Structure 1
Amino acid sequence: MDDAAYNELVSSLTPYEEAGSVKTYTNTVSLACPACEQPFDDLVVCRDEFNSLELSKVLDLCVTSHDDDVLLFTHQ
């Protein structure tokens, strides 16, 4: 994902939570996922080389990257 697309995406989302190197945004405007083109629920940005996520529910995930960050798009 290029810088312009990433900046446009993040500026349209609502920041939700930040814990260490993981930041979560909520999709309150029903933007389409860049991977599957369906609306997604949350964007999880993982900034470190290694991150651990503890999921409390089963989710479908789409994945892409920006610079060295991994971007996870969640679908419930």
Structure 2
Amino acid sequence: MEDFDEMLSSLTVQETAGGIRRYRNTVSIVCPACGEPFDDLVVCEDEFNSLELSMPLDLCTTTHDGQVVLFTHKP
């Protein structure tokens, strides 16, 4: 993903804990995987991460610099 750092600079940091960084998409940037605006971007920094979801979400995925990147979409 060529413009990853530029994308991150447009998002709002929501959480940084437990090897996960979560950003809120408040400016309706589109997901590079599906082309629809995403709700949150989650970067998994550790080799193993566990996500506890409080609601059903559609997920799109990619990697950047060896880290898993998740784009969440509320159905």
Q: Same fold (TM over 0.5)?
A: yes
- Report how many aligned residue pairs link the two structures: 74
Equivalent residues in 2 for 1:25-64, closer than 5 Å:
25-64=23-62
Runs of 5+ consecutive residues of structure 2 not aligned to the other structure = none
Provide the alpha-carbon RMSD of the alignment.
0.7
Which of structure 1's runs of 4+ aligned residues deviate more than 2 A? Answer: none
Residue 35 of structure 1 aligns to a residue whose secondary structure is coil
TM-score computed with the length of structure 2 as normaliser: 0.95
Where does the alignment leave 5 or more consecutive residues of structure 1 unmatched?
none
TM-score, structure 1 as length reference: 0.94
User: Are 2:5 and 1:20 aligned?
Assistant: no
**Counterpart-to-counterpart distance in 1, 2:18 and 2:32:** 25
Match for residue 71 of structure 1?
Answer: 69
